[in-house]
């Protein structure tokens, strides 16, 4: 028994973020001054957030590892930027340099907090850039936050840093890399079939270009601009919807490579869809337009007849079914908001959340409980906070499962190889102090493979770039069986 305890203690010391659940998703901030605390999963409680008093869709919040509110997005104070947002801390105070970030409060999922790897002080905030005084008008930006700066009140260390420029749909989300440490950030273009990808690796933010998959829509159309996009808990499926599109799109995702595959568009009777949430197992997607809720079997090959009507709202009233979100207690919570904003309407419809009590169950046995969760006298609008699965660990046994080898090996991975020259012209050399096997893939910024190379057991590899045009590339360097390192390479001829 003592030996077993010792083994468990050592394993949890090495991989504490996998042995014990992180509580970064335990605090929700949204609506008109609403907070929900999920630290007691059997009895979530409501609390008052004094600074969220404006009608919004795009909410975001994050807790620390212990489940204490860390940051949330609230209204800007600068009267010249009232449609923008500010960053607030767990004491409900705007943090230093946190006012009026160029992000639109009305975006469905326009903001997302991601803890910076291996740093309990730093948090990254990704957001859809929306500068009405542009150009640039739209793109993906980020800010870096410090919780301990400004005497513990928090500060935005850098902000409004554009990663790329394009017209984006109102949805960004994220999933853990298969190594259990890094992150993939995903943003969807508004009309085209582009999925933009950002890799957070250690303290680096690497633009990985985009991948084209699924349908395209007419330029400047509104088919998929609004509506949610979400990964399932396992991180191997992504679903998204749009308010001008009668389908829910589901794609498979490789957490190692960041590649989407196997697009399928599941039909729903809705003429449009807004809410979108996976069941805990990932088998079902719950999809809502503003009046109906459907359950879609995301594992069925039949894309036309895989839906079940779960609930139909009163079509004569002025309330709309809004966003949905899978909570830490394995239930899905759904808002109902008044159809126009701003308003002074307080009603049982927007002062309670509906709950899918058993979302893993098929059909009506999922137990949809209408307006079952009371918001303590507060009211919801159309949105819920943009949350991701902060507890997702490594994909054990995969080629990217690099963090299960031990602390000393993990710490030194990025120092094992040197790549030179960089920028390169005709050749690039990859070297190490020790012999190693290599598998290399070179991607351009559109996500296309431009070069593959593999070889066995050497300290130095010289790779020809004679057929590679000028540009910026991402090198995926696989060392041995269980380590992949990403490096940026510039080619100039």
Query: What pLDDT, in 10s, does the model give residues 70-111?
Result: 999 988 887 666 678 899 999 999 999 999 888 888 899 999
Average pLDDT over residues 240-252: 92
Average pLDDT over residues 60-74: 94
Tokens 């020809």 correspond to 464
Q: For residue 319, what are the β-bridge partners?
A: 338
Among candidate residues 473, 394, 16, the one with its CA nearest the CA of residue 182 = 394
Is residue 433 packed enough to be buried (19+ CB in 10 Å), middle (13-18) or exposed (0-12)?
exposed
Q: For residue 273, what are the β-bridge partners?
A: none
Which pLDDT value is given to residue 79?
Answer: 62
Which pLDDT value is given to residue 93?
Answer: 95
What whole-number percentage of the chain has pLDDT above 70? Answer: 84
Between CA 166 and CA 307, with CA 106 as vertex, the angle to 5 degrees is: 85
d(CA 144, CA 158): 5
For residue range 415-462, what is the model confidence (pLDDT) as tens digits?
567 888 888 888 998 887 777 677 888 887 656 788 988 877 567 878
Going from the N-terminus, what domains does the chain have, and what CATH number goes with each? 22-374 (2.130.10.10), 407-491 (2.60.40.3080)
pLDDT band at 283 (very low <50, low <70, confident <90, very high): very high
Average pLDDT over residues 287-302: 94
Average pLDDT over residues 251-271: 92
Q: Between 120 and 353, where is the model more confident?
A: 353
Average pLDDT over residues 237-254: 93
Between CA 171 and CA 181, with CA 177 as vertex, the angle to 5 degrees is: 115
pLDDT band at 133 (very low <50, low <70, confident <90, very high): low
Q: Is residue 492 pLDDT above 90, yes or no?
A: no
Which pLDDT value is given to residue 316?
Answer: 64
Which pLDDT value is given to residue 10?
Answer: 36
Average pLDDT over residues 336-364: 88
Cis, peptide link before residue 342, omega less than 30° from 0: yes
Q: Is residue 358 pLDDT above 60, yes or no?
A: yes
Residue 491: CB partners within 8 Å, gap ≥ 6? 423, 424, 425, 465, 468, 469, 470, 471, 472, 473
Q: Is residue 341 pLDDT above 80, yes or no?
A: no
- Distance of CA 37 to CAs 14, 215, 230, 425, Å? 29, 39, 22, 55
Q: What's the alpha-carbon Rg for the chain, to the nearest Å?
A: 23
């Amino acid at each position: 028994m003592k030996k077993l305890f010792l083994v468990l203690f050592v394993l949890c010391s090495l991989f504490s973020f996998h042995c014990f659940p992180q509580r970064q998703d335990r605090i929700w901030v949204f609506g008109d001054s609403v907070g929900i605390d999920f630290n007691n999963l059997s009895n979530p409680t409501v609390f008052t957030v004094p600074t969220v008093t404006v009608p919004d869709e795009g909410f975001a919040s994050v807790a620390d590892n212990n489940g204490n509110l860390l940051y949330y997005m609230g209204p800007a104070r600068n009267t010249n930027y009232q449609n923008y947002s500010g960053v607030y801390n767990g004491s409900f105070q705007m943090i230093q340099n946190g006012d009026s970030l160029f992000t639109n409060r009305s975006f469905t999922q326009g903001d997302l907090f991601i803890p910076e790897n291996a740093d309990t002080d730093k948090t990254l905030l990704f957001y859809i850039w929306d500068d009405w005084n542009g150009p640039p008008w739209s793109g993906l930006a980020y800010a870096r936050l410090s919780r301990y700066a400004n005497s513990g009140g928090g500060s935005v260390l850098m902000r409004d840093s554009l990663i790329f420029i394009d017209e984006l749909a109102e949805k960004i989300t994220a999933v853990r890399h298969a190594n259990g440490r890094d992150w993939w950030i995903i943003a969807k273009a508004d009309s085209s079939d582009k999925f933009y990808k950002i890799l957070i690796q250690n303290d680096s933010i690497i633009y990985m270009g985009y991948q084209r998959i699924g349908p395209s829509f007419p330029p400047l159309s509104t088919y998929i601009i609004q509506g949610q996009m979400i990964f399932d808990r396992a991180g191997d499926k992504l679903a998204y919807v749009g308010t001008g599109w009668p389908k829910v799109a589901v794609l498979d995702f490789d957490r190692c490579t960041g590649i989407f595959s196997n697009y399928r568009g599941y039909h729903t009777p809705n003429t449009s869809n807004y809410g979108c949430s996976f069941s805990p197992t990932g088998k079902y997607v719950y999809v809502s337009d503003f009046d109906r809720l459907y359950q879609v079997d995301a594992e069925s090959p039949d894309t036309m007849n895989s839906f079940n009507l779960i609930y139909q709202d009163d079509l004569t009233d002025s309330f709309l079914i809004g966003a949905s979100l899978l909570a830490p207690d394995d239930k899905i919570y759904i808002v109902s908001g008044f159809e126009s904003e701003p308003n002074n309407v307080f009603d049982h419809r927007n002062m309670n959340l509906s709950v899918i009590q058993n979302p893993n169950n098929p059909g009506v046995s999922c137990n949809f409980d209408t307006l079952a969760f009371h918001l303590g006298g507060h009211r919801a609008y159309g949105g819920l906070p943009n949350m991701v699965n902060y507890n997702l660990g490594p994909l054990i046994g995969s080629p990217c499962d690099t963090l299960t080898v031990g602390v000393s090996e993990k710490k030194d991975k990025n120092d094992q190889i040197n790549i030179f020259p960089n920028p390169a012209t005709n050749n690039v050399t990859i070297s190490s102090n020790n012999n190693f096997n290599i598998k290399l893939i070179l991607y351009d910024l559109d996500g296309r493979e431009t070069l593959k190379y593999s070889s066995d057991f050497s300290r130095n590899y010289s790779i020809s770039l004679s057929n590679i045009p000028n540009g910026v590339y991402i090198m995926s360097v696989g060392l041995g069986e269980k380590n992949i390192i990403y490096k940026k390479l510039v080619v100039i001829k």
